[in-house]
Homo-oligomer: A and B are copies of this chain.
């Protein structure tokens, strides 16, 4: 049985090499259909987004890569962009495709009843693999807004056939070390039937595609009452958990800072990740943020989110696995629950502050960011041009 000190040491080992990927688009403006509030200092291009992400990594030490979103982050020379990232101390991570913002996609992209639109959408996905080749990215993330708003609008089953066909074509284009991450979402922007609405659908398609296809769990994409940690445990057991898109929500796909709405849920998820080997040194699970800082400052919002993931992970790592297993084996409901809660109730902030100091970082990244003058500088520099945003 691991003594508490050993558990702390083991936890620190994992926390030291934690890797949380940041989304380039979190640094641009975002909002709701009612209003996008612009913020001063927001990046105007991918180069500036990567600079902001690098600031987050500089202060937290655990966010060494940035995910790109094509076409929002389209540039002429992706190797130059990758070099720019490297110069700033970070790397380019997952490539996110976007087949939902052309007028052609009004009735869907890869599941559109019109074969010409499907052709175009698949073409974009294949282009994304080209970008991956240029940036050295391992993962292609596919989220489809495809779906219907009205019963009868299109044939649910035919859309699955079209989806399978498109996925298969993209899958075949992947290099030997590349993966396809299939993301699911209950609703929005489709309001009747979404074509990949739940983990079961994503899982079934990934199974059919093969080993390089894995599921991406966005923590804000489920029906109310869904037990997300169950899905995590299930997919890890099946070898099909590819990645997380972290964020939190009180209602729908609110895209709030991860851990803000239900920190206990985040802890339970991270506990299942730990339990299922997802924090092992050779893990293939990618941990990414996918959030919208509609009303709060974006860089600080990302720092806080990274810290929230760190804290949940630390707590999950501190669970006394032996005590827990013993209580479970004995059918002692309250003792088993207490073993888990004991870790959750622990204040892990000192542990993480200590880790940062060990790594030569400021123990308080939020304060360090405020003091750094970074925001003042970019607000000053980024005058003129168009702030990045979703362009909806």
Contact = CB atoms under 8 A, between A and B. Distances in A.
Contacts of A386: none
A224 B187 CA distance: 12
A32 interface: yes
Interface string A107-125: 1000001100000000000
Contacts of A328: 113, 152-155
A386 B294 CA distance: 26
Nearest to A327: B152
Contact of A157 (B30, B156, B198, B233): B233
Nearest to A112: B331
Contacts of A347: 345-347
A377 interface: no
Given A149-B333, A225-B251, A295-B106, A261 B192 contact: yes
Nearest to A188: B32
B157 A329 contact: no
Given A34-B392, A35-B101, A151-B268, A237 B157 contact: yes
B256 A331 contact: no
Contacts of A346: 347
B349 A189 contact: no
A71 interface: no
A200 B197 contact: no
Contacts of A339: 152
Contacts of A225: 186-187, 223-224, 250-251
Interface residues of A, number: 105
A251 B203 CA distance: 23
A219 B172 CA distance: 38
Contacts of A89: none
Given A34-B100, A191-B254, A152 B238 contact: no
B227 A197 contact: yes
B31 A333 contact: no
A31 B33 contact: yes
Contacts of A251: 186-188, 191, 225, 252
B189 A304 contact: no
B204 A238 contact: yes
A32 B203 CA distance: 27
Given A106-B37, A260-B150, A275 B338 contact: no
Contacts of A224: 223-225
Given A149-B295, A155-B325, A201-B234, 9 more contacts: A106-B331, A150-B257, A150-B296, A151-B264, A156-B275, A187-B225, A191-B256, A203-B204, A263-B344
27 contacts: A30-B33, A35-B105, A150-B296, A150-B336, A151-B268, A152-B324, A152-B327, A152-B328, A152-B341, A153-B333, A156-B229, A156-B272, A157-B233, A157-B276, A186-B251, A187-B250, A187-B254, A192-B261, A194-B227, A197-B230, A200-B234, A201-B234, A203-B204, A223-B226, A224-B225, A225-B251, A334-B366
